[in-house]
Structure 1
Amino acid sequence: MVSPLTTLTATLLLIGAGPVWAASSQDLTVKGVITPSACAPVVSGGGTVDFGKVSVRDLNADTYTDLPRETMLLSVRCEGPTIFTLNTIDNRAGTAASHFSWHGLGMTPNDEKVGDAGLGLYSPVADGVPVRTITSRDGGVTWIPSVMLSHSLLTAVADGDGLAPIAIQALDAEIRLITHIAPASNLTLTDEVPIDGHATVQVNYL
């Protein structure tokens, strides 16, 4: 951070050191947010779900195949009471086979979408008190009750019947994973094809 600003300052000084010329200008804006307390998310098992080898004969030919449902534990710990939201980053963006808000599982060598996985937050407890999850698709302007955890919306927790995010210090919840494999008739499966989903859980401060 220091070097670019130092270089820019030196350049401006050199430009200003000569004769006065008519010149165009461009503002430089430095932005950021200083948060009152930082929050760190942790997913059990290192956030890894391994289905092992899935046999082609166990896949449905013309409909999606559901793999066994998995549950992980999510904990978020903050340095102090903080209003925050959660969302995901789909690191296999563009490969979801059926749901735009789910997470892709990669592509076959023939550029066919392998499947997708949906995430939901269940049984949330904030600071030792049961709460409910709410989601927003418009950046936090409006909220509805929902368990979804996705790259397409924001997820927060609210009191009782409330529809506004609350400040909390500790959140514990279950992440339940629903995984679909695309119809086998849509996939080239003459060789092994990896199930290659990868997503990042992200904390955002309001």
Structure 2
Amino acid sequence: MEKTTRAAFAFLLAACAPGVFAASSADLSVTGSITPSSCIPTLSNDGVIDHGKLTAKDLGRVTPTLLDLAEIQLEVICEGATVFTLTTFDNRAGTSAINPAHHGLGMINDDQKLGSVAFTLFEPVADAVPVKTIVSRSGGARWAENAYLGHEALTSFAAADGPNTPIAIEVLNARLRAFTIIVPARDLTVLDEVPIDGQATLQLKYW
């Protein structure tokens, strides 16, 4: 109540003494656009990459262990030719043990990071024509050919023989590959079964 009274009092002072305070203003704009078409991304196998069961003996004791490469299929279908970018949100943020640009696999024993997983896109095909994967780490100001898909960059697609500029696409297909790495066994205390608990959300943004 005291704060409300002081605020109201200050307002009355300003209103009653217009010649004491200099007036200033600032413009506020609301911008954006509405795209005429929408896009829906889908992943094969419901987006699940399952490495199955491992034993502690399968892990390198002093060096990280790269698990078998795993792939699922990414498809994006738009109602019309649309320029879009892909990025991810790491639902296990802060648990990546190998590289912060990768995704975490969760924690065990509350204080031990299990490992990391990196996602990449290979052999993209847009509207039945091979294209190249491009990435921007500057919010779209600059693009370079790269297969990275993650939370630290924007990923899009460009003509195979053209500049590194995102193009409008109606149907996209690509191989999404997961590189999963587990930290050295000496860094883990494995007393019970430990789940590999990586989870990320794929985000599509119109460009």
Mapped partners of 1:43, 1:62: distance in 2: 35
Count how many residue pairs are aligned between Structure 1 and Structure 2. 189
Instruction: Note if 1:118 corresponds to 2:107.
Output: no
Any idea what SS the aligned residue of 1:131 has?
strand
Residue 101 of structure 1 corresponds to 101
CA displacement, residues 2-55 of structure 1 (integer Å, 9 cap, x when unaligned): xxxxxxxxxxxxxxxxxx9857xxx99766542221111000000001222210
Residue 170 of structure 2 corresponds to 169
Mapped partners of 1:110, 1:92: distance in 2: 13
Residue 81 of structure 1 corresponds to 81
Structure (1 or 2) with the larger CA radius of gyration: 2
Any idea what SS the aligned residue of 1:125 has?
strand
Percent identity (aligned): 50
User: What's the TM-score, normalizing by structure 1?
Assistant: 0.85
Residue 188 of structure 1 corresponds to 189
- Residue 41 of structure 1 aligns with an amino acid whose one-letter code is P
Query: 1:160 Cα deviation (Å)?
Result: 2.0
Say if 1:158 and 1:165, in contact at 8 Å, map to a contact too.
yes
Residue 37 of structure 2 corresponds to 37
Say if 1:84 and 1:204, in contact at 8 Å, map to a contact too.
yes
Residues 122-201 of structure 1: matches in 2 within 5 Å?
122-161=122-161, 162-201=163-202
Stretches of structure 1 lacking an aligned partner (at least 5 in a row): 1-19
- Residue 71 of structure 2 aligns with an amino acid whose one-letter code is T
Stretches of structure 2 lacking an aligned partner (at least 5 in a row): 1-11, 16-26
Mapped partners of 2:68, 2:195: distance in 1: 17
Say if 1:119 and 1:148, in contact at 8 Å, map to a contact too.
yes
Query: 1:108 Cα deviation (Å)?
Result: 0.5
Residue 62 of structure 1 corresponds to 62
Distance 1:169 1:185, change over 3 A: same
Mapped partners of 1:50, 1:133: distance in 2: 25
- Residue 165 of structure 2 aligns with an amino acid whose one-letter code is A
Mapped partners of 1:31, 1:195: distance in 2: 42
Give every structure 1 segment of 4 or more consecutive aligned residues whose post-TM-superposition deviation is greater than 6 Å: 27-31
